[in-house]
Amino acid sequence: MAASTASANLHGRVAIVTGASRGIGREIAIHLRSLGAKLVINYTSSSTQADLLASELNAKATAETLPIAVAVNADVSNPDDVRSLFGRAEQEFGTPAHILINCAGVSDPKYPAVADTTVEDWDAMFNVNARGAFLTCREAANRLARGGGGRIILISTSVVGAALPGYAAYAASKAAVEMMGKIVAKELKGSGITVNCVAPGPVATELFFAGKSEETVQRLVDACPMGRLGQPNDITQIIGFLVSDAGQWVNGQVIRVNGGFVI
């Protein structure tokens, strides 16, 4: 689902990508830059990786006023940090952000059954995945540039549909995000801002492999009709389409990008 070169042009637009120091978030940031966007690379703990990514992107910039990418430390579960994150985008680039990709998230590599899930672990999952999505989405709803081209993408998971044992807290926190996204899309009627959720299936990242045995990984590969794990590029391409002008008619949707993954 690739947009044409013209419709995918993001020059002049500013994108905030949360959780962008590694994994899918990092690849999303790189892809949006390849389409011309300027970037706010958000991180919570991986400062070295975030700073390195910003430096690499700035070093590749040609005929543009620097910076074209900045790394910003912000905890998405903290409302003051989230406000500061959007303020930093405006300060650095002289314009309100146009795009929010909320990719920051956590999972529990122990994959406990509900009977074995602690209140602390449940709350930690919702604090980042659901509260973080709410705070960033709320800020975007108030502060993204109006007049067309505004995009909010919330990263969910295909586990919401698969209902895998051991993923109750994770899936529940992401299901909340999906419902919120559908509602915010309607609430932003007339703003020119679209809101969609992208729900990847198993993707070969550090977060995915954490805590999984080779047997578990193979079982998930076998559950995909395509016979492989997803790669970050599989996710970034659909996001590039959704944030482009070609994606303006897709709104209020949950798009499960998973190669047909079924359990």
CA terminus-to-terminus distance, the chain = 25
Q: Enumerate helices (H) and strands (E) in the chain, giving the number of each.
A: 10, 7
Q: Residue 28: pLDDT above 80?
A: yes
In one letter, which amino acid is 253?
A: Q
> What percentage of the chain exceeds 90 in pLDDT?
84
Between CA 67 and CA 93 the distance in angstroms is 8
Domain 14-203+232-250 indexed as CATH 3.40.50.300:
no
55 pLDDT higher than 90: yes
User: What is the pTM assigned to this prediction?
Assistant: 0.94
Q: Kindly state the average pLDDT of the residues 111-116.
A: 94
Q: How confident is the model at residue 7 (pLDDT cuts 50, 70, 90)?
A: low
- pLDDT confidence band for 5 (50 / 70 / 90): very low
42 — alpha (psi -120 to 50), left (phi > 0) or beta?
beta
Going from the C-alpha of 30 to that of each of 12, 47, 55, the distances in angstroms are 16, 17, 12
Q: What residues act catalytically?
A: 170
pLDDT tens column, 149-160: 899 999 999 999
Q: How does the average pLDDT of the chain come out, rounded?
A: 93
What band does 181 get if pLDDT is binned at 50, 70 and 90? very high
Residues 184-197 have pLDDT tens digits of 999 999 999 999 99
What per-residue confidence (pLDDT) applies to 3? Answer: 43
- Distance CA(228)–CA(207), nearest Å, equals 17
Residues 6+ apart with CB under 8 A from 21: 41, 42, 43, 46, 47, 49, 50, 53, 71
Mean pLDDT value across residues 39-51: 95
- 3-class state of residue 135 by DSSP: helix
pLDDT exceeds 90 at position 111: no
Q: What is the pLDDT of residues 64-108, one digit of tens each?
A: 788 999 999 999 999 999 999 999 999 999 999 999 999 999 988
Rounded to 10 degrees, what is the CA torsion of 145, 188, 147, 92?
0
pLDDT, tens digit (0-9, with 9 covering 90-100), for 191-222 = 999 999 999 999 999 878 888 899 999 999 99
DSSP string for residues in 76-119: TT-HHHHHHHHHHHHHHHSS---EEEE------TT---GGG--H
Residue 2 banded pLDDT, cuts 50, 70, 90: very low
| Omega prior to 67 cis, within 30 of 0 | yes
User: What confidence score (pLDDT) does residue 61 get?
Assistant: 85
Percent of the chain with pLDDT over 70: 97
pLDDT at residue 201, as a whole number: 94
Q: Round to whole Å and give the CA distance between 197 and 15.
A: 16
Q: Report which DSSP code applies to 128.
A: I
